[in-house]
Protein backbone atom coordinates (compact mmCIF):
# COMPACT_ATOMS: atom_id res chain seq x y z
CA UNK A 1 0.00 0.00 0.00
CA UNK A 2 2.78 2.46 0.84
CA UNK A 3 4.43 1.76 -2.52
CA UNK A 4 2.16 4.30 -4.21
CA UNK A 5 4.12 6.98 -2.35
CA UNK A 6 7.59 5.60 -3.10
CA UNK A 7 9.68 7.79 -5.41
CA UNK A 8 11.22 6.23 -8.50
CA UNK A 9 14.46 8.06 -7.75
CA UNK A 10 15.97 10.20 -5.02
CA UNK A 11 18.42 13.08 -5.45
CA UNK A 12 20.15 15.39 -3.02
CA UNK A 13 18.61 18.34 -4.88
CA UNK A 14 17.07 19.31 -8.22
CA UNK A 15 20.37 20.72 -9.42
CA UNK A 16 22.36 17.46 -9.15
CA UNK A 17 20.11 15.31 -11.35
CA UNK A 18 21.85 14.13 -14.53
CA UNK A 19 19.42 15.73 -16.99
CA UNK A 20 21.82 15.11 -19.89
CA UNK A 21 21.69 11.36 -19.28
CA UNK A 22 17.92 11.46 -18.93
CA UNK A 23 17.60 13.40 -22.19
CA UNK A 24 19.65 10.71 -23.95
CA UNK A 25 17.22 8.18 -22.47
CA UNK A 26 14.37 9.97 -24.25
CA UNK A 27 12.88 12.29 -21.63
CA UNK A 28 11.71 15.63 -23.02
CA UNK A 29 9.83 17.43 -20.25
CA UNK A 30 10.38 18.20 -16.57
CA UNK A 31 7.63 19.22 -14.15
CA UNK A 32 9.05 21.07 -11.15
CA UNK A 33 7.62 21.99 -7.79
CA UNK A 34 9.01 25.35 -6.59
CA UNK A 35 9.08 25.80 -2.83
CA UNK A 36 11.77 23.76 -1.09
CA UNK A 37 12.50 22.01 -4.40
CA UNK A 38 14.19 24.84 -6.34
CA UNK A 39 14.45 27.55 -3.65
CA UNK A 40 13.53 27.93 0.03
CA UNK A 41 9.82 28.40 0.69
CA UNK A 42 8.65 31.77 -0.67
CA UNK A 43 12.06 32.80 -2.07
CA UNK A 44 12.51 34.39 -5.47
CA UNK A 45 14.34 32.60 -8.26
CA UNK A 46 18.09 32.82 -7.81
CA UNK A 47 20.99 32.49 -10.25
CA UNK A 48 21.14 28.75 -9.71
CA UNK A 49 17.47 28.30 -10.63
CA UNK A 50 17.77 30.56 -13.67
CA UNK A 51 20.88 28.66 -14.75
CA UNK A 52 19.14 25.28 -14.41
CA UNK A 53 16.22 26.33 -16.59
CA UNK A 54 18.56 27.81 -19.19
CA UNK A 55 20.57 24.57 -19.21
CA UNK A 56 17.40 22.50 -19.64
CA UNK A 57 16.22 24.68 -22.54
CA UNK A 58 19.62 24.31 -24.22
CA UNK A 59 19.37 20.53 -23.87
CA UNK A 60 15.95 20.59 -25.55
CA UNK A 61 13.69 20.03 -22.54
CA UNK A 62 10.32 21.60 -21.99
CA UNK A 63 9.69 22.66 -18.40
CA UNK A 64 6.62 23.56 -16.39
CA UNK A 65 6.33 24.76 -12.82
CA UNK A 66 3.49 22.96 -11.06
CA UNK A 67 2.48 24.43 -7.73
CA UNK A 68 -0.46 24.36 -5.36
CA UNK A 69 0.41 27.96 -4.53
CA UNK A 70 -1.50 31.05 -5.69
CA UNK A 71 -0.75 32.69 -9.02
CA UNK A 72 1.27 35.72 -7.82
CA UNK A 73 3.88 33.44 -6.22
CA UNK A 74 4.09 31.02 -9.13
CA UNK A 75 3.90 33.63 -11.90
CA UNK A 76 6.75 35.74 -10.55
CA UNK A 77 9.02 32.71 -10.19
CA UNK A 78 8.02 31.44 -13.65
CA UNK A 79 8.84 34.79 -15.22
CA UNK A 80 12.29 34.77 -13.58
CA UNK A 81 13.15 31.32 -14.98
CA UNK A 82 11.21 31.76 -18.26
CA UNK A 83 9.02 28.69 -17.81
CA UNK A 84 5.32 28.00 -18.25
CA UNK A 85 3.46 27.34 -15.02
CA UNK A 86 0.32 25.91 -13.47
CA UNK A 87 -0.82 27.48 -10.19
CA UNK A 88 -3.34 26.04 -7.72
CA UNK A 89 -2.54 22.77 -9.44
CA UNK A 90 -4.46 20.60 -7.00
CA UNK A 91 -1.58 18.15 -6.52
CA UNK A 92 -1.76 15.21 -6.13
CA UNK A 93 -4.69 15.36 -8.57
CA UNK A 94 -4.15 14.59 -12.25
CA UNK A 95 -5.46 17.79 -13.87
CA UNK A 96 -2.40 19.89 -13.06
CA UNK A 97 -0.05 17.26 -14.46
CA UNK A 98 -2.17 16.92 -17.59
CA UNK A 99 -2.06 20.68 -18.11
CA UNK A 100 1.72 20.76 -17.50
CA UNK A 101 2.32 18.05 -20.11
CA UNK A 102 0.05 19.82 -22.57
CA UNK A 103 2.09 23.01 -22.12
CA UNK A 104 5.30 21.07 -22.83
CA UNK A 105 3.90 18.83 -25.55
CA UNK A 106 4.96 15.70 -23.67
CA UNK A 107 3.38 12.47 -22.45
CA UNK A 108 3.72 10.61 -19.14
CA UNK A 109 6.26 8.31 -20.80
CA UNK A 110 8.72 11.11 -21.63
CA UNK A 111 8.11 13.43 -18.68
CA UNK A 112 9.92 13.63 -15.32
CA UNK A 113 8.66 15.14 -12.10
CA UNK A 114 10.96 16.74 -9.50
CA UNK A 115 9.65 17.68 -6.07
CA UNK A 116 10.29 17.53 -2.35
CA UNK A 117 7.02 16.05 -1.03
CA UNK A 118 5.78 12.48 -1.18
CA UNK A 119 2.07 13.14 -0.77
CA UNK A 120 1.80 15.82 -3.45
CA UNK A 121 4.72 15.73 -5.89
CA UNK A 122 5.56 12.03 -5.93
CA UNK A 123 2.08 10.58 -5.48
CA UNK A 124 0.54 12.91 -8.05
CA UNK A 125 3.16 12.20 -10.71
CA UNK A 126 3.08 8.46 -10.07
CA UNK A 127 -0.70 8.49 -10.51
CA UNK A 128 -0.05 9.84 -14.01
CA UNK A 129 2.69 7.32 -14.81
CA UNK A 130 5.40 10.00 -14.70
CA UNK A 131 8.88 9.06 -13.43
CA UNK A 132 9.55 10.83 -10.14
CA UNK A 133 12.55 12.36 -8.42
CA UNK A 134 12.23 13.12 -4.73
CA UNK A 135 14.69 15.76 -3.60
CA UNK A 136 15.56 16.78 -0.06
CA UNK A 137 13.88 19.98 1.11
CA UNK A 138 16.19 22.96 0.64
CA UNK A 139 15.32 24.69 3.90
CA UNK A 140 13.84 23.43 7.20
CA UNK A 141 11.41 26.37 7.56
CA UNK A 142 7.99 25.20 6.37
CA UNK A 143 4.30 25.85 6.92
CA UNK A 144 2.73 23.86 9.74
CA UNK A 145 0.68 21.59 7.45
CA UNK A 146 3.88 20.57 5.66
CA UNK A 147 5.72 19.98 8.94
CA UNK A 148 2.98 17.53 9.92
CA UNK A 149 3.18 15.74 6.54
CA UNK A 150 6.95 15.42 6.94
CA UNK A 151 6.42 13.22 9.99
CA UNK A 152 4.31 10.83 7.91
CA UNK A 153 6.83 11.01 5.06
CA UNK A 154 9.55 9.76 7.44
CA UNK A 155 7.51 6.63 8.10
CA UNK A 156 6.94 5.99 4.39
CA UNK A 157 10.60 6.59 3.59
CA UNK A 158 11.69 4.20 6.35
CA UNK A 159 9.78 1.40 4.63
CA UNK A 160 10.91 2.57 1.18
CA UNK A 161 14.59 2.44 2.16
CA UNK A 162 14.08 -0.89 3.90
CA UNK A 163 12.53 -2.34 0.73
CA UNK A 164 15.42 -0.94 -1.36
CA UNK A 165 17.98 -2.68 0.88
CA UNK A 166 16.25 -5.98 0.17
CA UNK A 167 16.40 -5.50 -3.62
CA UNK A 168 19.54 -6.15 -5.63
CA UNK A 169 21.00 -2.78 -6.61
CA UNK A 170 20.81 -1.66 -10.21
CA UNK A 171 24.10 -1.23 -12.02
CA UNK A 172 24.84 2.37 -12.84
CA UNK A 173 23.33 5.44 -11.24
CA UNK A 174 19.91 6.52 -12.39
CA UNK A 175 17.10 4.03 -12.11
CA UNK A 176 14.78 6.11 -14.27
CA UNK A 177 12.89 3.98 -16.75
CA UNK A 178 13.47 4.58 -20.44
CA UNK A 179 10.51 6.30 -22.15
CA UNK A 180 8.49 3.99 -24.35
pLDDT tens-digit series, residues 47-72: 999 999 999 999 999 999 999 999 99
Q: What is the spatial distance between Cα 71 and Cα 34, in angstroms, rounded to a whole number? A: 12
Q: Report the mean per-residue pLDDT for the chain.
A: 89
Q: How far is CA 146 from the centre of its chain?
A: 16
Q: Is domain 2-166 classified as CATH 3.40.50.1000? A: yes
Structural domain boundaries in the chain: 2-166
Q: How confident is the model at residue 171 (pLDDT cuts 50, 70, 90)?
A: very low
Q: How confident is the model at residue 147 (pLDDT cuts 50, 70, 90)?
A: low
Question: How many other C-beta atoms can be found within 10 angstroms of the C-beta atom of residue 170?
Answer: 8
Asked if residue 174 has pLDDT above 70, the reply is no
Q: What is the spatial distance between Cα 128 and Cα 159, in angstroms, rounded to a whole number? A: 23
Q: What is the spatial distance between Cα 12 and Cα 3, in angstroms, rounded to a whole number? A: 21
Run of H or E residues at 3: none
Burial class (CB in 10 A: 0-12, 13-18, 19+), 90: middle
Amino acid sequence: MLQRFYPDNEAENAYDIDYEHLYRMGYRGVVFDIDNTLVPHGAAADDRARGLFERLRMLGYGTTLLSNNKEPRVKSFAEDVASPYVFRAGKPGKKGYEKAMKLMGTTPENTLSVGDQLFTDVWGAKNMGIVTYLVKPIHPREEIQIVLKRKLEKIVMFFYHRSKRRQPSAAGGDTAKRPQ
